[in-house]
Amino acid sequence: MSLQELLLMRHEWTLIGSLLILLVLELNFTDEGKTKSIPSAAILFALVTLSGFLPSQSGTLFGGMYVTDPLRILMKNILNLGVLIVFLQSGSWLRAKNNYNRITEFYLLMLSSVIGVSFMISAGNFLMFYLGLELLTIPIAAAASYEQYKSKSAEAGIKLILSAAFASALLLFGLSMLYGATGSMYFSKMIVTADVLHVLGFVFFFSGLAFKISVVPFHLWTADVYEGSPTNVTSYLSVVSKGAAIFVFVLLSVTLFETIRQVWQPVIYGTAIFTMTIGNLFAIRQQNLKRFLAFSSIAQAGFILLGVIGGTALAMASVIYFVLVYVFSNLAAFGVVIAIEQYSGKININDYNGLYHTNPRLSLAMMLALFSLAGIPPLAGFFGKFFLFTAAAESGYYVLLFIAVANAVVSLYYYLLVVKAMFVNKNESPIKYFHSDYPTRIALSACVVGILVIGFYSPIFEFIKQLCLSSL
């Protein structure tokens, strides 16, 4: 393997490298110095993220098992940004007494999962894809039960691993059908037709992936796992693992499954409607903010499907762009929830009553994040949603579009409930003023800047669209 070829896998190498470095560093830390792995991990991962933006080439490795091109690199970079923000936000939580001895463990689990994400996106073969998917899921199940001293956390871990195992089984079943019908596992060699076996294979494959995206009716694990997991893991689950699954589906829908468009378009059509509506309806009734964000993220997945359904360059671009926006918006919301949970242990919407009077900056960040999720201008979420809607309209799905915009109004209602709690409601004993640690503040500021700037800075979208056009 020449150096040139090695560099094609730059994302994976840097990730594996930083994982090993972290492992070695951990050995040298004294018992009192365990917290040093928090900044080390953040710095290492920042370097990984930065190196991802260096110019790179397209190509395949391992006889077509591994594919890389600018679009895939962009996807990895977007998700890496999300992981970096998650890392920055998790410092204060890891310093807590109960987690003290196992700080590095958390980072190792997360890094392994990110390696899985990278391999999954770069897969050129279903086996490689499956390996990536499992590598993405299993460490996260361990991380979900990281707070062993809380029964809810253990419950979340077991729920996640069981449903993920079930999803994997479905997915493998689908893959075996596809393999049996086409005689290959390589995306480039498989020719999928509207044959019954092919379609069945696709349906099972989609079901497996839908678990990851938490598309209705495969969403039932989401709320419980999100609620029980440590909030930092939840934010990773809701942004990175969901984003990766969506990216893979977008890539496959326009390449491998292009030929059976008439099959998957109605499937997406139906699931999109149910995902948006059910996510929204359940989100309205939630008091616990983590459950609230879980259902809101289900609804957001429904909106994303609106972009997937078109299968054009604009549709792909709108999905990737929306995920980028979603990374910043959702992680800003989670960042505030994490900061407040760390300081006060409070997690309900009622606890946020009167927050603006004591913590104006956090409240503003939360408000911007929620309005961005709701798609209100001039925030990035507005542009993201508008482009998704444009993608759906481009292919003539006006009824679906109508249902989606109606859902967007419903979603504004429950996002406003939180804003109302922070700004309007009165509270005798609001959460007191506090300083969160610097990494959290940096992460939150980065998110807020992202929310404010991404929409106005149009070259980002134009760049993504150009990449999508050239990859079709």
Partner 1 sequence: MNILIAHIAVPAITTLVMMFARTQKQVRAVAASGMTLQLLLSLILLYLFLQERAAGNEAVVLFTQSYFWYPSLGISFDIGVDGIAVAMILLTSIVIFTGIFASWEVEKLYKEFFISLIVLATGVYGFFVSLDLFVLFLFFELAVIPMYLLIGIWGSGPKEYAAMKLTLMLMGGSALLVVGILGVYFTADVEGLRTFNILALGQQHVPIEMQRIFFPMLFIGFGVIGALFPFHTWSPDGHSSAPTAVSMLHAGVLMKLGGYGCLKVAIFLLPEAANEMSWIFLILTSISVIYGALATVVQTDLKYINAYSSVSHCGLVLFAILMLNKTSSTGAVLQMISHGLMTALFFALIGMLYSRTKTRIITEMGGLMKVLPFLSVCYVIGGLASLGLPGLSGFVAEMTIFVGAFEHEDLFHRVATIIAVSSIVVTAVYILRVVGMLLMGPIKSEAYNNFPKAKWFEKIATISLITGILVIGLTPLWLSNMIRDSLGLIVDKLVLK
Q: Which residues of the chain form contacts with partner 1 (CB under 8 A)?
A: 314, 367, 371, 376-378, 382, 386-387, 389-390, 393-394, 396, 398, 401-402, 405-406, 408-409, 412-413, 416, 419-420, 423-424, 458, 461-462, 465
Task: Decide whether 20 or 424 has the Cβ nearer to partner 1.
Answer: 424
For partner 1, the closer CB: 103 or 404: 404
Angle, nearest 10°, between helix axes 289-308 and 220-228? 140
* Neighbouring-strand partners of residue 348: 288
Question: CA 245, CA 301: separation in Å to the nearest integer?
Answer: 11
Q: Please, what is the minimum distance in Å from the beta carbon of residue 383 to partner 1?
A: 9
The residues, ordered by sequence, that sit 6+ positions from 37 with a Cβ below 8 Å of its Cβ are 22, 25, 26, 29, 103, 104, 107
Residue that the structure tokens 């393999």 belong to? 179
What letter represents residue 347's amino acid?
I
Nearer to partner 1, 100 or 402 (CB): 402
Cα first-last separation, the chain: 29
> Distance between CA atoms of 326 and 345, rounded to whole angstroms?
26
Using CA atoms, how far apart are residues 71 and 378, in angstroms rounded to an integer? 27
Q: At what angle do helices 438-453 and 313-344 cross, to 10 degrees?
A: 150
Q: 341 to each of 90, 140, 351, 359, 364, how far by Cα in Å?
A: 12, 21, 10, 14, 17
Nearer to partner 1, 57 or 350 (CB): 350
State the minimum distance, in angstroms, from the CB of residue 465 to partner 1.
5
Task: In the chain, count H helices and then E strands.
Answer: 21, 2
Element (H, E) at 159: helix 151-182
Question: Tokens representing 205?
Answer: 């494959």
- Measured from the CB atom, the residue of 137 and 359 that comes closer to partner 1 is 359
Contact indicator for 328, 373 with CB cutoff of 8 Å:
no
Residue from 107, 101, 115 nearest 143 by CA: 107
Query: Which is nearer to partner 1, 111 or 314 (by Cβ)?
Result: 314
| CB closer to partner 1 out of 86 and 388 | 388
User: Nearer Cβ to partner 1, position 270 or 396?
Assistant: 396
| Minimum distance of partner 1 from residue 332's CB (angstroms) | 15
Closest approach, Cβ 468 to partner 1, in A, equals: 10
